[in-house]
Amino acid sequence: MRPGMNRELRFKDVGVAAATDAEDAPPSYADGVYMMAGQDRPSPRKLSRILMKGKDGMPSRKNRTALLVFFGQMVSSEILMASEMGCPIEMHKINVEKCDEMYDADCSGEKYMPFYRAGYDATTGQSPNMPREQINSKTSWIDGSFVYSTSEAWVNTMRSFSNGTLRTDENGMPPRNKERVPIMNKPSPHLFKTLSPERMYLLGDERTNQNPALLSFGILFFRWHNKVALRAQEEHPDWSDEEVFQRARRIVIATLQNVIMYEYLPAFLGDTVDPYKGYRPDVHPGISHVFQSAAFRFGHSMIPPGLYRRDSQCNYKRTVSGDLALRLCATWGTRT
């Protein structure tokens, strides 16, 4: 059974790992089937230069912090992974205007940004009756796939199988990826080669090592699992490893659901969410294309250029180079 299944027969293949995205607007491919639309529209880079230009590092008027941003990145990883490139690769160019201050500083007029189209369900995209459908390789439910992955084999590499906990190193941290679980490990741009996958933390989502802030949430929920498992063990000393593990997993999932719905969403949207009144079989549980590719990426516009860190006494911690803030682009998983 695929993770996320066993819910509602009416939507039996929806919201599970590797399901196609949901539609909330008709597709508008150039040919109605699969070709990229918008070739006659302004380049996305031109639009972002016009629309997204502004000063970096401005404080939030609503007192939101970087925590909101990176919690949001975790939420997106929890419910979505639909933009990985397909096979065979389909490459396009995003036009860069001559003298673009970032990408064409020498005014060559010959710069462009590479763009890879997202993978799709190969049984679609062949006729107007069945336009191309992208695939979400995560479950769209908030079911802890960020913490436990969507595969039993994967989570098994993380489990201790002795007391319901996840394996840790001697400091209570997640182990490094000695098992070489397929964690995202793109070639480092400045080295032109991939680094060892064993340097990364073994956590439930292939993207968690991407940056230090997202990784902090990965470690936080990993440790929360172990904390809850230890409590369950104390309360039920006769329980097996499996019983303790599943109890802790349920509580971690409930924690995630609670924080996402009743703390994160109101802070992100500036609006409250109605209390849960029970399961609604008529609500489509999948993620729509518009939400995946545009609306929820709104979070990208909130990403700060760097992060301040504090020690246990609340003093600012300096980076190895003596700076106050940790520059995000210098700390990608591909760079460490």
- Binding footprint of ligand HEM on the chain (CB under 6 A): 69, 72-73, 76, 80-83, 211, 292, 296-297, 299-300, 303, 328
Ranges assigned E (strand) in 269-315: 306-310
Q: How many CB atoms lie within 10 A of CB 82?
A: 21
Least CB distance to ligand HEM at residue 118 (A):
7
Least CB distance to ligand HEM at residue 80 (A):
4
Least CB distance to ligand HEM at residue 305 (A):
10
Least CB distance to ligand HEM at residue 148 (A):
18
Query: Which CB atom, from 177 or from 208, has the smaller least distance to ligand HEM?
Result: 208
Query: Which CB atom, from 208 or from 292, has the smaller least distance to ligand HEM?
Result: 292
CA distance 23 to 199: 39
Query: Which CB atom, from 73 or from 145, has the smaller least distance to ligand HEM?
Result: 73
CA distance 247 to 237: 13
CA distance 302 to 65: 10
Which residue pairs, CB below 8 angstroms and at least 24 apart, start in 221-227?
221/144, 221/146, 221/147, 221/252, 221/255, 221/256, 222/147, 222/166, 222/174, 223/172, 224/252, 224/255, 225/147, 225/165, 225/166, 225/249, 225/252, 226/165, 226/166, 226/168, 226/172
Query: Which CB atom, from 119 or from 144, has the smaller least distance to ligand HEM?
Result: 119
Question: Which residue sits closest to ligand HEM, CB atoms considered?
Answer: 299
Q: Which residues pair with 135 in a beta bridge?
A: 20
Query: Which CB atom, from 230 or from 265, has the smaller least distance to ligand HEM?
Result: 265
Query: Which CB atom, from 69 or from 244, has the smaller least distance to ligand HEM?
Result: 69
